[in-house]
Amino acid sequence: MKGLCQFLSVLIGIVCSVLLFVGIIPLLGWSLWFTLGLCVLGIVLGAFPDRKIGLTINIAVGLVAMLRLILGGGVI
């Protein structure tokens, strides 16, 4: 079970990082809200395994997405 949680957390982190790069493009910042939701799911799944690589990826992507949303006013 822990191995599956770790795999899913890393997979979600990779998908979120791709969505993050799409969301950095002007006028596509709305996709960062979806990215944040997926990051929260990845953080929850990444908290269970012993190796915390998925948790680390999801926290880093979530922080960058939140920073981009703050700088862009929440939408843009």
pLDDT band at 57 (very low <50, low <70, confident <90, very high): very high
- Tell me whether residue 60 is in a domain: yes
CA distance linking residue 30 with residue 23, whole number of Å:
7
Residue predicted with more confidence, 76 or 44: 44
pLDDT at 76 over 60: no
- Tell me whether residue 7 is in a domain: no
Domains of the chain: total:
1
CB neighbourhood size of 67 (10 A):
11
- Tell me whether residue 52 is in a domain: yes
- Tell me whether residue 36 is in a domain: yes
- Tell me whether residue 29 is in a domain: yes
Which residues span the domain enclosing 50? 14-72
- Tell me whether residue 4 is in a domain: no
- Tell me whether residue 9 is in a domain: no
- Tell me whether residue 55 is in a domain: yes
Quote the DSSP letter at residue 56: H
